[in-house]
Chain A
Amino acid sequence: MQTATRVTQRTATAASGNTVSILAFGGDISSASKDAVLGAYHGLNEAASHVLLDFTGVDYINSSGIAIVIQMLLEAGKAGTQAIGIFGLSAHFQKVFTMVGINKYAAMHKDEATALAAV
């Protein structure tokens, strides 16, 4: 039984002093999450040059959910104006994200503090 995807947006200041937009996801990410996930990403200010994706509250990501994350990262890669980082993934999904090559498009960090320090 899948649960609905929750997305919240907040900002934080990195150690470098840069403002970072953080998209925090919760629940499950699946094919039904497309509008929520991509909608939130598209809703970010275009001027946001640093974006962190927070998966701390995510319970489950299926292959369709991973496809959505990849689509988001490829869009960001095409624009070339945003540096995207990821944190809060469970060990299982860190492995899955690495398997599908997401780590080549987004730096993966253990937690928010580490991610902000790396910006």
Chain B
Amino acid sequence: MTQARRQYRRALAVLLALGIAGLTAHAQHTVEHLALNPRGVDGTSLGTPVNLGARWLAHRGDNPAWAEPGLDDSHWRVVDLGVPLAQQGMKGVDAVWYRLHVRIPPNARHLSLMLTRAGGSLEIYANGKLIGGWGSQTPGGSRLIIESWRGAIPDAVLGSGDLTLAIRAHIGNFTHGGDIPTGPLGVQSEDLLGPASAISNAAALLSFRDLTSNWTNLTLVLLVLLITAALALTVSNEPEYKALLVALAGQACYQGFILWTLLVGTHITFGAGLVYYALSAVWTIGLIEFVRLILGMRRSRAFLLYYALLGVISPLVGICTYLYWEPHHALNGPVGVAVNLFTQLIAVPATAGLPLLALWVAWRKHNRDTLLLSAPLLVNASWVYYSFGLYVLRLFHAITEGTYLTATYTPITAFNIAWEEVVSFAFSISLLVFLVVRTIRLAREKARAASEMQAVKTLQALLLARSHQPTPGYAVETVYRPASEVGGDFFLVSPHSDGSIVAIVGDVSGKGLLAAMRVSLILGALNRESSRTPAEVLARLNQVLLGQGDMGFTTACCVRVEADGDYSFANAGHLNPYIEGQEIEAPGVLPLGLKADAAYSTVKGHLNPGERLVLLSDGVPEARAKRELLGFDKLLELTRLDASQIADAAQSFGQEDDITVLALTLAGAEVAVG
């Protein structure tokens, strides 16, 4: 291997260490590095499993005869499993044999051997008898296989009081020629010899210790997932919860997948690599989308492009990771390094950049949600900052690779919890705190808004109640059905002592509090209005509403009917009146409040006793069922009905907007009174 090629491979190893941190971190295990003599480990007290210690005899090369117990291994080197082979005079190894001599009781029976977290391609021998192994024993044939192995030692090879354990290993790809202390019997390994039942118990305990952090992590993620699902279902108008739900579903599957791989044995296969990184992509994209929505940022093309990149490169990382460990593959070299470096450059900013973005937006917009969210994001990114910092230190030789790996992956409790997992716990908890605090705040805000809305609703009801005064000589039926709690429609009926009546129906664009407040302003102005000439009423209302264009516009149709049935009306962008199913057309004019010099022409006519004049808001013709509007044509028949029947018809068709119907009939004939 050339120096350049080795450099590439070393760089790739560290990048992969970042990329597959989850896998390797989970492969950690606390090891008592007992400095026993590998030429004579005392195993005479085998009531409990004996830890075989950290020192083994090792010899580079490959020769099946080295399994034999009688081999003269006096010249073999004693190696410390916690130190890279490269630092113990065995640089660039591919094939290596390990041997260990244990003194056992001559009558020992039913013994088992357990290797935890052994890696590479191995064959395991007891007194020359092959008792287990995995992987290919061809040169350069090692792949990333991390196994916890347990096997019985045949009684037939026991009885002499001496047990020689030999392990044939191909480790080149796995430990980068001995540069990394991760196998085959590396820093992560704990090797036990003892009675089969005791080894079985030790294996169960080890599995429990190993997986505790994974179960805890998965449980925490599922808890946050359930809470987010509840929020997504109950707060349907906030899509951020749906985005977080998708992200957490990806994260839960991802954690579950890791757990599954640990339970069944961790093999990086092509399919496993793809699934692992695809789930990781779902998590990352969902998280970014959640943050984007909380920050109130537009889903610009840059976001979509980044999502597409993440979606494509994440499976690519999986493929590269798999191919990297495939012996003799083309990607197992500079091309692989380049592809991996590119993918890391794309993926890492997603995690590392989000808290910075949140803090920047919080500072710019003084947004409390954003500031609150930056806490879990900083926790989530701390692992990347930490790993990257160590990587830079290692790159500039400020720390050794061993220090780098130890600082990155050393477990911190007997329950084998890596720093990355602590970060994951802290992230889940801080995200939970964020969700709870935000939900409480939003609930309080909603309660306050509901209280304010109720106040406006009451005010509007009072104003509209005043809008319908007794109308001697006329039968007036009014129906007002807002689409939401408070409406943007208004009406007013104002009889006069001279026997005339003025009726106005209008519509403020928009809905909710703003529209309701504007209606209140308009009704206030109309109640103060002294003129009874429709065009003048509209012109003055136009002046009142001028300069409020940002609040939307107001349409209105104002009708005056005299005692003798003569009527006049003016229209400002509103629906025309209907008399007995006929539309009385007026010239189109801009709505109110848009032009200072707007003039409203007057249309005149005569209403016979018993004839019904109907004013309505656009909530009637624009009632909508799926994509079909109720439409103007149907109004011709509909406006022959009572006001309540018209409103019922529109509502049953599909109410989209506020519905107001005012039907006015001149008395003097048999009339329908609402």
Using a CB–CB distance below 8 Å, which chain A residues touch chain B?
A: 31, 59-60, 62-64, 66-67, 70-71, 74, 92, 95-96, 98-104
5 closest Cβ pairs, A-B complex: A100-B573, A63-B509, A101-B588, A101-B590, A67-B509
Q: Is the CB of A92 within 8 A of B621?
A: yes
Whole-angstrom distance between the alpha carbons of A60 and B618 in the complex? Answer: 13
- Say whether B610 faces chain A, with CB atoms less than 8 Å apart: no
Whole-angstrom distance between the alpha carbons of A74 and B591 in the complex? Answer: 12
- Say whether B174 faces chain A, with CB atoms less than 8 Å apart: no
Cβ of A55 to closest chain B Cβ, rounded Å = 14
Q: Is the CB of A60 within 8 A of B588?
A: no
A71 to chain B: which residues have CB within 8 Å? Answer: 549
A31 to chain B: which residues have CB within 8 Å? Answer: 509-510, 552
Cβ of B514 to closest chain A Cβ, rounded Å = 10
Which of A60, A64, A74, A104 lies at the interface centre, i.e. has the most chain B CB atoms within 10 A of its CB? A64
Q: Is the CB of A62 within 8 A of B656?
A: yes
Task: Say whether chain B's binding surface is mostly helix, strand, loop, or mixed.
Answer: loop
- Say whether B289 faces chain A, with CB atoms less than 8 Å apart: no
Count: A-B pairs, CB below 8 Å: 66
Whole-angstrom distance between the alpha carbons of A63 and B594 in the complex? Answer: 14
Tally of contact residues, B, Cβ under 8 A: 28
* CB contact list, B621-648 vs A, under 8 A: 621-622, 624, 627, 629, 631-632
* CB contact list, B539-595 vs A, under 8 A: 549, 552-553, 555, 571, 573-576, 588-591, 594
Q: Is the CB of A59 within 8 A of B553?
A: no
Cβ of A70 to closest chain B Cβ, rounded Å = 7
B632 to chain A: which residues have CB within 8 Å? Answer: 92, 95
B576 to chain A: which residues have CB within 8 Å? Answer: 99
Known contacts A62-B509, A99-B571; 20 further A-B pairs (Cβ under 8 A): A60-B627, A62-B622, A62-B657, A63-B507, A63-B552, A63-B618, A64-B509, A64-B552, A70-B591, A96-B618, A99-B573, A100-B555, A100-B573, A100-B590, A101-B573, A101-B588, A101-B589, A103-B588, A104-B588, A104-B590
Using a CB–CB distance below 8 Å, which chain B residues touch chain A?
A: 488, 507, 509-510, 549, 552-553, 555, 571, 573-576, 588-591, 594, 618, 621-622, 624, 627, 629, 631-632, 656-657
Q: Is the CB of B574 within 8 A of A70?
A: no
Cβ of B142 to closest chain A Cβ, rounded Å = 54
Q: Is the CB of B574 within 8 A of A99?
A: yes
Task: Say whether chain A's binding surface is mostly helix, strand, loop, or mixed.
Answer: helix
Whole-angstrom distance between the alpha carbons of A45 and B618 in the complex? Answer: 35
Contact of B553 among A70, A96, A103 (CB under 8 A): A70
B629 to chain A: which residues have CB within 8 Å? Answer: 60, 92
Whole-angstrom distance between the alpha carbons of A83 and B152 in the complex? Answer: 91
Q: Is the CB of B588 within 8 A of A70?
A: no
B488 to chain A: which residues have CB within 8 Å? Answer: 63
Whole-angstrom distance between the alpha carbons of A66 and B573 in the complex? Answer: 11
B549 to chain A: which residues have CB within 8 Å? Answer: 71
Closest to B553 in A: A67
Cβ of B597 to closest chain A Cβ, rounded Å = 13
A63 to chain B: which residues have CB within 8 Å? Answer: 488, 507, 509-510, 552-553, 555, 618, 657
Cβ of A25 to closest chain B Cβ, rounded Å = 15
Q: Is the CB of B624 within 8 A of A100?
A: no
Q: Is the CB of A74 within 8 A of B627?
A: no
Contact of B588 among A62, A67, A74, A100 (CB under 8 A): A100
Whole-angstrom distance between the alpha carbons of A74 and B631 in the complex? Answer: 27
A96 to chain B: which residues have CB within 8 Å? Answer: 618
Known: A62-B656, A63-B555, A63-B657. A70 touches B627 (CB 8 A): no
Cβ of A84 to closest chain B Cβ, rounded Å = 15
B510 to chain A: which residues have CB within 8 Å? Answer: 31, 63-64, 67
Cβ of A57 to closest chain B Cβ, rounded Å = 12
20 intermolecular pairs with C-beta atoms under 8 Å apart: A60-B622, A60-B629, A60-B656, A62-B509, A62-B622, A63-B488, A63-B507, A63-B555, A64-B509, A67-B552, A67-B591, A70-B590, A70-B591, A99-B573, A100-B573, A100-B589, A101-B573, A101-B588, A101-B590, A104-B588
Q: Is the CB of A74 within 8 A of B594?
A: yes
Whole-angstrom distance between the alpha carbons of A104 and B595 in the complex? Answer: 13
A64 to chain B: which residues have CB within 8 Å? Answer: 509-510, 552
Whole-angstrom distance between the alpha carbons of A98 and B585 in the complex? Answer: 11
B657 to chain A: which residues have CB within 8 Å? Answer: 62-63
Closest to B575 in A: A99
B631 to chain A: which residues have CB within 8 Å? Answer: 92
Which of B552, B555, B618 lies at the interface centre, i.e. has the most chain A CB atoms within 10 A of its CB? B552
A62 to chain B: which residues have CB within 8 Å? Answer: 509, 622, 656-657
Cβ of A9 to closest chain B Cβ, rounded Å = 15
Cβ of B164 to closest chain A Cβ, rounded Å = 74
A70 to chain B: which residues have CB within 8 Å? Answer: 553, 590-591, 594
A104 to chain B: which residues have CB within 8 Å? Answer: 588, 590
A92 to chain B: which residues have CB within 8 Å? Answer: 621, 629, 631-632
Cβ of A106 to closest chain B Cβ, rounded Å = 12
Cβ of A49 to closest chain B Cβ, rounded Å = 24
Cβ of A67 to closest chain B Cβ, rounded Å = 5
